């Protein structure tokens, strides 16, 4: 058992966390005369290390997930979801959301397609909540920063929010809150040809390139913010606003995260820096969920598809769920990390 624990720690620190890279960069900066224990040197080390680590994980994860996703085009996904009913359909929709796009804005066109195809509204909302909030990429990235227990519980609770939110929306029968042009859209069934392995590899590589171009600027901004927090903002300020002493830290983090637009890759360095400075675990994860699920650009896009009442309910369900998850993680933080 001790041997397995040692192996896992090595995988988490040196393979997922790439701590060896941080040490290597630190030695290089020291060799050229930059003190990494100071604010400037520490910021440079944090920035270079996190950009390289996140870009590498980004490319590997997107390739793997896109290869998996090639088996679930919209038409096939619609047919899979159509076989299930009740809460089982919500669960399947939430799980399918884990192998789809990385940010809320890219999930909304799929949501619109599923809704116009006649799938139950609650099922499509379970997908919409799950897709940006929890994916296979977030699981691996969270493991590299917070450990396996936190990552798995984060994903499980995210799926619970997606299933519960979709089920509630289904029970309220709000189909009339979807815009007319979506409800009346005509669907054309196009047979989905089986792709060869080389075609799936080509598709996965194209997704890597496309996603990298789209998210790389946000990675740079996120890492830059993380480096600033990590090395320039005094720890007592972070603790005062987001630490144990502030019972409203989770709510503040959720509200602050909503206007931002980033995916999990842009959030990770900020979350990492906040946690290192003394922010509570639940506060950090609530911030991440708020950014990835309720970003302002995605809400503007969603407003074109659904009416204000349903949009408000969606935002309310996600916000309450995120806050509950945040306080739950705060309560059990010392058992998790």
Q: What does the pLDDT read at residue 187?
A: 47
As a three-state string, the secondary structure of the chain is CHHHHHHHHHHHHHHHCCHHHHHHHHHHHHHCCCCCCCHHHHHHHHHHHHHHHHHHHHHHHHHHHHHHHCCCCHHHHHHHHHCCCCHHHHHHHHHHHHHCCCCHHHHHHHHHHHHHCCCCHHHHHHHHHHHHHCCHHHHHHHHHHHCHHHHHHHHHHHHHHHHHHHHHHHHCCCHHHECHHHHCCCCCCCCCCCCCHHHHHHHHHHHHHHHHHHHHHHHHHHHHHHHHHHHHCCHHHHHHHHCCCCCCHHHHHHHHHCCCCCCHHHHHHHHHHHHHCCCCHHHHHHHHHHHHHCCHHHHHHHHCCECHHHHHHHHHHHHHHHHHHHHHHHHCHHHHC
DSSP state of 18: -
> Considering the domain boundaries, does residue 116 fall inside one?
no
Q: State the average pLDDT for the chain.
A: 79
**C-alpha–C-alpha distance, residues 26 and 274, integer Å:** 21
Question: Which residues contact residue 144 at a Cβ distance below 8 angstroms, ignoring those fewer than 6 apart?
Answer: 12, 16, 17, 18, 53, 57
For residues 127 and 5, the model is more confident at 127
Dihedral angle, C-alpha 264, 267, 268, 271, nearest 10 °: -140
Half-sphere exposure of 324 toward its Cβ, with a 13 Å CA cutoff?
11
pLDDT tier, 189 (very low <50, low <70, confident <90, very high otherwise): very low
Question: Which residues contact residue 167 at a Cβ distance below 8 angstroms, ignoring those fewer than 6 apart?
Answer: 87, 90, 122, 126
> Considering the domain boundaries, does residue 325 fall inside one?
no
Q: What does the pLDDT read at residue 28?
A: 92
Total number of domains in the chain: 1
pLDDT over threshold 80, residue 80: no
> Considering the domain boundaries, does residue 16 fall inside one?
yes
The two three-digit tokens of residue 214, written as one number: 């789209």
Mean pLDDT of 279-293: 85
The two three-digit tokens of residue 234, written as one number: 């005094």
> Considering the domain boundaries, does residue 57 fall inside one?
yes
> Considering the domain boundaries, does residue 249 fall inside one?
no
Question: Which residues contact residue 191 at a Cβ distance below 8 angstroms, ignoring those fewer than 6 apart?
Answer: none
The whole-model pTM stands at: 0.73
Q: What does the pLDDT read at residue 167?
A: 92
Backbone phi, then psi, for 260, in 5-degree steps? -80, 160
Mean pLDDT of 314-331: 89
pLDDT over threshold 90, residue 294: no
pLDDT over threshold 90, residue 81: no
pLDDT digits (tens, 9 = 90+) for 139-176: 777 787 788 888 888 888 889 999 999 999 989 988 88
Q: What does the pLDDT read at residue 163?
A: 93
> Considering the domain boundaries, does residue 38 fall inside one?
yes
Q: Residue 60 sits in which domain range?
A: 9-71
> Considering the domain boundaries, does residue 50 fall inside one?
yes
**C-alpha–C-alpha distance, residues 222 and 294, integer Å:** 17
> Considering the domain boundaries, does residue 22 fall inside one?
yes
């Amino acid at each position: 058992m001790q041997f397995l624990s040692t192996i896992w720690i090595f995988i988490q620190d040196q393979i997922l966390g790439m701590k060896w890279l941080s040490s290597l960069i630190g030695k290089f900066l020291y060799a050229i005369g930059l003190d990494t224990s100071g604010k400037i040197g520490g910021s440079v080390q944090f920035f270079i290390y996190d950009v390289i680590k996140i870009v590498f994980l980004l490319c590997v994860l997107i390739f793997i997930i896109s290869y998996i996703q090639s088996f679930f085009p919209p038409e096939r996904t619609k047919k899979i979801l159509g076989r299930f009913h009740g809460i089982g359909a919500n669960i399947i929709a939430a799980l399918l959301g884990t192998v789809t796009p990385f940010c809320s804005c890219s999930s909304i066109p799929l949501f619109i397609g599923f809704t116009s195809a006649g799938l139950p509204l609650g099922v499509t909302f379970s997908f919409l909540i799950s897709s940006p909030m929890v994916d296979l990429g977030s699981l691996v990235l969270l493991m590299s920063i917070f450990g396996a227990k936190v990552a798995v519980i984060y994903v499980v609770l995210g799926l619970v929010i997606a299933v519960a939110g979709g089920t509630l929306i289904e029970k309220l029968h709000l189909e009339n809150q979807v815009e007319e042009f979506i409800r009346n859209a005509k669907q054309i069934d196009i047979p989905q040809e089986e792709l060869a392995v080389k075609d799936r590899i080509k598709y996965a590589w194209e997704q890597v390139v496309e996603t990298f171009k789209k998210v790389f600027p946000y990675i740079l901004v996120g890492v830059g913010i993380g480096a600033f927090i990590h090395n320039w903002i005094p720890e007592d300020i972070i603790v005062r606003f987001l630490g144990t002493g502030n019972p409203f830290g989770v709510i503040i983090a959720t509200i602050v995260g909503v206007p931002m637009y980033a995916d999990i890759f842009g959030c990770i360095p900020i979350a990492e820096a906040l946690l290192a400075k003394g922010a509570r675990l639940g506060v950090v994860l609530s911030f991440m969920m708020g950014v990835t699920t309720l970003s302002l650009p995605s809400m503007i896009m969603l407003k074109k598809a659904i009416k204000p009442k349903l949009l408000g309910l969606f935002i309310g369900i996600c916000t309450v769920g995120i806050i509950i998850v945040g306080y739950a993680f705060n309560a059990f933080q010392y058992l998790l990390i």
